[in-house]
Amino acid sequence: MVESADHLCGFWSATPLAGAPAPQPAGSQESMAVGGVSGSTVYFATRTLDMAGNVSALRNGAR
């Protein structure tokens, strides 16, 4: 979870969510249910890492 969906530094210092599913083959749809979040605004964002070590841009910011 990140404090602000548009700040990259917030992404790297965010608390990782436990229980992420195993990566699926390229092009597969993936999902994850998140519970126990309450109180203030919470932002979610993702980055991907391929087998060559390439890291994607920050994507799918959601609030």
- Give 6's pLDDT tier (boundaries 50, 70, 90): low
Q: pLDDT tens, 8-31?
A: 567 777 777 888 888 888 889 888
pTM: predicted TM-score of the whole model, two decimal places: 0.49
Q: Which residue has the tokens 């910011």?
A: 61
Amino acid at 55: V
Q: 27: phi > 0 → left, psi -120 to 50 → alpha, else beta; which?
A: left
1: DSSP letter: -
For residue 59, give the H/E element and its range.
Answer: strand 59-62
What CA–CA distance (Å, rounded) separates 52 from 34? 29
Residue 63 has pLDDT above 50, yes or no: yes
Which two three-digit tokens encode residue 42?
Answer: 């919470």
Q: pLDDT tens, 28-50?
A: 988 888 887 776 777 777 778 88
